[in-house]
Amino acid sequence: MIELHGVRVHFPLRQGLFEAFRGRPRGAVRAVDGVDLRVGASEVVALVGESGCGKTTTGRALVRLAPITAGRVVLDGEDVTNLGGAALRAYRRRVQIIFQDPYESLNPKQTVHDIVAEPLEVHGLARGAEREERVGRALEDAGLRPAGAYRGRYPHELSGGQRQRVAIAAAMVLEPAFVVADEPVSMLDVSIRTGILKVMLDLRESRGVGYVFITHDLSLAWLIADRIAVMYLGTIVEEGPAAQLVASPAHPYTQALLSVMPSPDPKRRRRRTILAGETPDASRIPPGCRFHPRCPLAFERCRTEEPPFFEVGPGQRAACWLVESGRALPVVGTTAAAGTAAAPPAATAEP
Amino acid sequence: MALLEIRDLVVHFRIRGGVVRAVEGISFDVETGEAVGLVGESGCGKTTTVLAINRLLPPNGRIVSGSIRLDGEELTALRRGAFRRKRWKEMSVIFQGAMNSLNPVLRVGDQVREPILLHEPGVTRREANRRVSELFELVGINPARKKQYPHEFSGGMRQRVMIAMALANRPRLVFGDEPTTALDVMVQAQILELLERLRREFGLAMVLITHDLSVVAETCERAVVMYAGQLVETGPMELLHDRPLHPYTLRLMRSVPDVEGPRDLGAGIPGQPPDLAAPPSGCRFHPRCDHAVAACLAAFPPGRSFGTGHRVACHAVSDEGRLRAPSELPLLSGAAVVLAAEESGAELAMLDHPDDPPGVEGAA
């Protein structure tokens, strides 16, 4: 199991000499601002949100590519937040990442074989015939069959779908326990997507790989994930079993996102809740509930106090003052509730 | 007479060592005030069609044959000057990726004003400035921001500027080339609602080019489905969703996740779109089609109409307007491979190979 406990990733802002001289505190972009997440073996957890919500940075923090300002990353009970050197390399062997753009993420000067063999080389695993065999198996598992037909090719000779399969093979060749997949199909045509998603889900079945699936597309998350976590401005605002969360969203932001999701059935035109404006700047996070300036249901308390998580259904929880009364009781004593509630409203950095 | 009538449009691109047959004989109409979706995956020719209509093809592209009529007037016969007077005034384009379509060193207000000053010589600067303010209000931007530069605008706001520019000369027909593709869902909803409102208020006809069937379902009455340069099916959106006839439309519809439909991945479409420099013979979808018969290799089927504006080009569709099941058809070996693969738990990936699309073996 891989866990995030109150993880924060803050990027300090550049400050002018004048501001420094006046003694103004240096601001920060709070890209990830207290995220708790848990992914078990063979589990698919989708991180959903709009651009700038921190979903990609959260994924990068999980693989230790983003600098973690506060909080802990724990893999199978072992704290890996501050690993370095060989220990970090060993960690990355177990937790891999697949990037969004298969046109950018593959080295154009390497053959498919070299791209997939490189992780083995870097980690000093499997030599000679064994390496060949593992590369071949990874390619075939990713649906590039027969592997021999692809080994000698260069990325430009492949279609977008095939490139993403190569990226999957390069991540899977190390036989990781967890994979962070950052929008792995959003650059691909719909008819190609299914094949890629199938490959990923097959590996979950056969090898028990757990996924953090990052996407802006709530309907895609609903389709493939066991659980969905909805992010807004650096925090998770609602989390729950995928089908249940989509059927009965509790947080006004999740509700709004669902209401604007276009439906392929023209007979079903829903009442849309269109929020004004765009996601605000992560360097100027509003006090209280960070969603309150755009929330159609905000009331006084939302402007001053940040809501903790409240249980709204089996395994489903939402950070919203509205669900506190009536619907359910707050989740007491979990790290999540403590993590978000303990943070003073307008804190800039250290929790 | 429809506002826009496209008949047998053929567009080719010259490339080194060959010709890319990007659009191969498509025909459709757009009525006054109507919204039509032009859908298909990358490389299907939807953007090329719009560029051809607006004479914006790159130098190596040309209209080989076909007719484009706007209000009955043949556009392909117009001289350059006469055509320029139509563009912007009669029809305009909202381009994909507002990020790169605006000039970064000009104030946005000036960019929106440019088509007004250019195409309406009688209009004074002052009058034009007033109209820019109106346009900004119309698309939901504070007119005080006229003096700002594109980098001061967010993605959604820049797309609004592009829409204001497309509407500057009050055209009757607007083409939107993936106008919301780069935007977040919430901003996409804002923009789609804006387009819808403008359409109602001004009786604007709209052609929406997108790969996203859900966006078309939300905004358009009718859709034209293209595959590899060919028009495979067109009709009212409701019919295309409830009763698609072409196997490609059917597969495409099933590939779109619908939170109120079944929660399974579906089959997708095996293989990948063809290379248009050497397209498959006949119906270009046949190498990926699980309904392909010998006739599909020989010729692209003529479009047949079934009911209200529903037209489909497929040999597997019966004369009564029903897509015959694969079991009723004398399938090609390629199509049989697709079917067998699917039944055996979908090892579709093995067909995902550029050199030997499965149907080609059947053709040989």
Residue ranges of B 120-159 with Cβ closer than 8 A to chain A:
154-156
Question: What is the CA angle A34-A35-A41, rounded to 5?
Answer: 155
Q: HSE, CB side, 13 Å, CA atoms: give it for residue B212.
A: 24
Chain A CB contacts of B155 under 8 Å are 278
- Tell how many helices (H) and how many strands (E) occur in chain A: 13, 12
Distance from CA of B199 to the nearest CA of A (A): 17
Report pLDDT digits (tens) over B275-325.
899 999 999 999 999 999 999 999 999 999 998 889 999 999 999 989 998
Question: pLDDT per residue over B328-364, tens digit each?
Answer: 888 876 666 666 555 544 434 333 433 333 333 333 2
Q: If you measure CA to CA, which chain A residue comes closest to B275?
A: A159
pLDDT value for B338 = 65
**Edge-to-edge strand list for the sheet holding A78-79:** A28-39, A2-12, A70-75, A78-79
Give the whole-angstrom CA distance, residue B99 versus residue B103: 9
Interface residue A309 vs chain B (CB under 8 A): no
Number of Cβ within 10 Å of residue B7's Cβ equals: 14
Average pLDDT on B21-37 reads 95
Search chain A and give the residue with CA nearest B252.
Answer: A191
Backbone angles phi, psi at A68, to 5 degrees: -90, 120
Q: Which of A318, A315, A289 is nearest to A303 (CA)?
A: A289
pLDDT given for residue B98 in this prediction: 54
B349 and chain A in contact, CB less than 8 A = yes
pTM, entire model: 0.85
Strand order across the beta sheet in which A227-232 lies: A95-98, A178-182, A210-215, A44-48, A227-232, A235-241, A316-318, A310-313
Show residues of chain B in contact with A192, CB under 8 Å.
Answer: 268-269, 272
CB contact under 8 A, B256 and A190: yes
Q: Do A265 and B258 touch (CB under 8 A)?
A: yes
With beta carbons less than 8 A apart as the criterion, state whether A210 and A43 touch: yes
Query: In 3D, which of A229, A190, A277, A224 has the Cα closest to residue B214?
Result: A190
CA B212 to chain A, closest CA, distance in angstroms equals 9
Contact status of A165 with chain B (Cβ, < 8 Å): yes
Cβ-based contacts of A189 with chain B (< 8 Å): 41-42, 211, 273
Q: Does A220 touch chain B (CB under 8 A)?
A: yes
Beta bridge mates, B11? B23, B63
pLDDT score recorded for residue A54 = 92
Contacts of B268 in chain A (CB under 8 A): 191-195, 198
Q: Which residue of A163, A189, A226, A248 is the best one to mutate when testing the B interface, meaning the one whose CB has the most B CBs within 10 A?
A: A189
pLDDT recorded at residue B217: 93
Asked if the Cβ–Cβ distance from A260 to B186 is below 8 Å, we say: yes
Residue B253 sits at the chain A interface (C-beta within 8 Å) = yes
In 3D, which of B266, B270, B267 has the Cα closest to residue B292?
B270
Tokens of A292: 């309150």
Q: How far apart are CA A100 and CA B38, in angstroms?
A: 26
Say if A189 is an interface residue toward chain B (CB within 8 Å): yes
Strand positions, DSSP E, B178-274: 205-210, 222-227, 230-236
The order of strands in the sheet holding B61-70 is B18-30, B4-15, B61-70, B73-74
A262–B contact, CB cutoff 8 A? yes
User: Residues of B with CB below 8 A from A276's CB?
Assistant: 190
Q: Roughly what angle, to the nearest 10 degrees, separates helices A160-172 and A112-122?
A: 20
Name the 3-class secondary structure at A101. coil
Cβ-Cβ contacts under 8 Å, A195 against chain B: 268, 270, 348-349, 352
Q: Which two tokens stand for residue A183?
A: 């929008």
- Give the Å distances, CA to CA, from A26 to A19, B263, B266: 8, 48, 51
Which segments of A147-217 does DSSP mark as H helices, in order?
A: 148-151, 160-172, 190-207
What's the CA gap between A41 and A1, in Å, rounded? 6
> What residues of chain A score a pLDDT lower than 50?
327-351
Burial of B2 (0-12, 13-18, 19+ CB in 10 A): middle
Interval B172-223: pLDDT, tens: 999 998 888 777 888 888 888 888 888 998 899 999 999 889 999 999 999 9
Distances (CA, A) of A245 to A93, A213, A279, A316, B186: 33, 16, 22, 7, 19
B87's tokens: 């563009």
Contacts of A126 (CB under 8 A, 6+ apart): A120, A133, A134
Quick count: other Cβ atoms within 10 Å of Cβ A23? 6
Number of neighbouring beta carbons within 10 Å of residue B63: 18
B132-139: average pLDDT: 90
Is the pLDDT score of B26 beyond 70? yes
Is the CB of residue B354 less than 8 Å away from at least one CB of chain A?
yes
Task: Give pLDDT, residue B341.
Answer: 55
For residue A36, report the phi and psi dihedrals to the nearest 5 degrees.
Answer: -115, 130
**Helix axes of B108-119 and B155-167: crossing angle, nearest 10 degrees:** 10
Interchain pair A191, B217: CB under 8 A: no
Asked if A3 contacts A77 with a C-beta cutoff of 8 angstroms, the reply is no
ipTM for the predicted complex comes to: 0.82
User: Which residue matches tokens 């932001």?
Assistant: A253
Which chain A positions have a beta carbon within 8 Å of B266's beta carbon? 194
Place of tokens 């950052």: A182
List, for residues B225-237, the tens digit of each pLDDT value.
999 999 999 999 9
- From A306, A332, A341, select the one nearest A320 (Cα to Cα): A306
Give yes or no for residue B257 having a pLDDT over 60. yes
Task: In whole angstroms, give the CA distance from residue B276 to residue B44.
Answer: 9
Yes or no: say if B244 and B291 are a contact pair by the CB < 8 Å rule.
no
Say if the Cβ atoms of B186 and A223 lie within 8 Å. no
Q: Which two tokens stand for residue B214?
A: 């859900």
CB atoms A219 and B266 under 8 Å: no
In three-state secondary structure terms, B37 is strand
Question: How far is Cα B180 from Cα A278, in angstroms, rounded to an integer?
Answer: 14
Tokens of A48: 């959903």
